[in-house]
Amino acid sequence: MATDTESRHGMWSSRWLFILAAAGSAVGLGNIWKFPYLAGENGGGAFVLLYLVCIAFVGVPIMMAEVLLGREGRQSPINTMRQLTRQHNRSALWVLIGWAGVVAGFLILSYYVVIAGWSLFYIGQMASGALEGATGAQADALFNDFLADPWQMIMWQTIFMVLTVYIISRGVVKGIETAIRWFMPTLFVLLFVLLGYAVTSDGWAQGVDFMFGLDFASLDGNSVLVALGQAFFTLSLGMGAMMAYGAYVPNSAPIGSTVVIIALLDTVVAVAAGLVIFPIVFANGLETGQGPGLMFVTIPLAFGQMPLGIVFGTIFFVLVSFAAITSAISISEPALAYLVEEYNAKRSRVAISLGVICWVLGIGTVLSFNHWADVHIVGNMTYFDFVDYVSQNIMLPLGGMFIALFAGWALPKTVIGAQLGIDDGWLSVLWKIVCGIVAPVAVLIVFLGVLFG
């Protein structure tokens, strides 16, 4: 039976507040920064289709599994898994799911706040007119000079970290909900203002063709892993965020339809971000496969060449910053909730302590772009490359796979039925097939395929 207790950390005021919060977690740099450049590097439309398949058949069932586990346990991911394994006489090794998610999320947050700091820097650059009429060389030089200056990067990293800590320290209702109520509607308005701007650009037709034209020859085994990793990253799966947020969901909220709405919102934002960026890229004769610099070199350059580009460029980076803060909040929550529970500590003190540790870890990412650029952890991977690859392409998919297996096979039917509102009929069988077989097997096949070449 689903528990009727409430989380000690608070509860979402309504189902729609949870949808906005979870969508805020999902909609972040993964959609606006990472998805467009990954699509650009992997051929466009074929990668988008592959990504959508990963969302539908892997992302949605695993998100449902995470949310139902969180709501059943009503605690942090670690303590939720600890409680469920004891309650249902399962191996204590399943608790590693909680630990792995918290660690992966914390590693991601350590570099996430650094990249998010870049977006804050570019708000000022665009608003000041520093990029108005800039040439490609000038836009590239601005970005490279910024990356070469660790102190400036640390300053913006610190500002973003302080904002995140302030919001999460205020709790679920006063902090997270209040921020979400303002940030998410504003984010959607800004995005669709920019989308309307892109529609009028000369590169709109090319951008649409690139986003939706299918060139399967551009895909390889690594593209599949990247698409799967991006699905996990953008939906905040495998890092405990959805399990933590699920603990605050009212029992009256239907998990299945709620998760589908969240996934749809996330996908719409990712595709819309691509449709904002690529028409601007094509209209200015720029390259799609720019990698991480796509948003911080190509896009500022394009806006700097356009009528009213400074205004819309500033709006674009405000949008990026809003998206980043909503995701950073959710990634912080699993570790914060666990420490509050474990040590009965004040939320504000835990938030500050975690923020300091995360900030220190993030210095490694800062230095990866300047003083440590030639320091390789494994192969040609810098510290940032290594943390990003291990957390997103290994820890998140494997964590998600074991979450699906636990929810599909280790939990009693009565728990699944109570949480998802399904009986022993065909929906129960479908859940078992998709969550217990299709999702984990898909993750395992892709993971092993890439691991062994």
The string of pLDDT tens digits covering residues 357-383 is 999 999 999 999 999 999 999 888 999
Does the pLDDT value for residue 4 go beyond 60?
Answer: no
- Identity of residue 192: F
Please report the pLDDT score of residue 421 as a whole number: 84
- Identity of residue 26: A
Q: Picking from 50-64, 96-110, 187-201, 430-444, which range would have the lowest pLDDT averaged per residue?
A: 187-201
- Cα angle 105, 109, 115 (rounded to 5 degrees) comes to 145
Q: Please state, as a whole number, how many other Cβ atoms lie within 10 Å of the Cβ of residue 125.
A: 22
Chain-centroid distance of CA 368 in Å reads 21
| Encoded tokens for 175 | 């902090």
Asked whether 398 and 447 are in contact (CB, 8 A), the reply is yes
Confidence of residue 424 (pLDDT cuts 50, 70, 90): confident
Confidence of residue 43 (pLDDT cuts 50, 70, 90): confident
Asked whether 448 and 224 are in contact (CB, 8 A), the reply is no
Does the pLDDT value for residue 453 go beyond 60?
Answer: no
Q: Picking from 96-105, 120-129, 284-293, which range would have the lowest pLDDT averaged per residue?
A: 284-293
Please report the pLDDT score of residue 232 as a whole number: 75
Average pLDDT over residues 177-198: 81
Confidence of residue 175 (pLDDT cuts 50, 70, 90): confident
Please report the pLDDT score of residue 372 as a whole number: 94
Does the pLDDT value for residue 6 go beyond 70?
Answer: no
Residue 57 to residue 437: CA distance in whole angstroms: 11
Q: Picking from 114-128, 209-223, 370-384, 392-406, which range would have the lowest pLDDT averaged per residue?
A: 209-223
Residue 242 to residue 375: CA distance in whole angstroms: 34
Average pLDDT over residues 295-321: 81
* Sequence-ordered list of residues with C-beta below 8 angstroms from that of 356, at least 6 positions apart, any chain: none
Average pLDDT over residues 433-441: 90
Which residues is 378 bridged to in the sheet? Answer: 381
Asked whether 286 and 303 are in contact (CB, 8 A), the reply is no
Q: Where are the domains of the chain?
A: 15-451
- Identity of residue 241: A
Please report the pLDDT score of residue 151 as a whole number: 96
Does the pLDDT value for residue 354 go beyond 90?
Answer: yes
Which residue, among 431, 103, 372, has the nearest Cα to 238 in the 3D structure? 103
Q: Please state, as a whole number, how many other Cβ atoms lie within 10 Å of the Cβ of residue 106.
A: 20
Residue 280 to residue 270: CA distance in whole angstroms: 16
Does the pLDDT value for residue 7 go beyond 70?
Answer: no
Please report the pLDDT score of residue 87 as a whole number: 93
Residue 362 to residue 115: CA distance in whole angstroms: 10
Please report the pLDDT score of residue 1 as a whole number: 41
Average pLDDT over residues 250-257: 87
Please report the pLDDT score of residue 290 as a whole number: 61
Which tops the pLDDT comparison, 60 or 210? Answer: 60
Tell me if residue 207 falls in helix, strand or coil. helix
Q: What is the pLDDT of residues 118-157, one digit of tens each?
A: 999 999 999 998 888 887 778 888 988 999 999 999 999 9
Please report the pLDDT score of residue 88 as a whole number: 93
149: left (phi over 0), alpha (psi -120 to 50) or beta: beta
Total number of residues shown for the chain: 453
Question: In angstroms, what CA-CA distances link 283 with 201, 235, 298, 299, 453?
Answer: 7, 31, 12, 11, 38
The yes/no answer on whether domain 15-451 falls in CATH 3.40.50 is no
Confidence of residue 225 (pLDDT cuts 50, 70, 90): confident
Share of the chain above pLDDT 70, in %: 94
Residue 312 to residue 314: CA distance in whole angstroms: 5
pTM assigned to the model: 0.84
Does the pLDDT value for residue 185 go beyond 90?
Answer: no
Please report the pLDDT score of residue 122 as a whole number: 93
Kindly report the average pLDDT of the chain as a whole number: 84
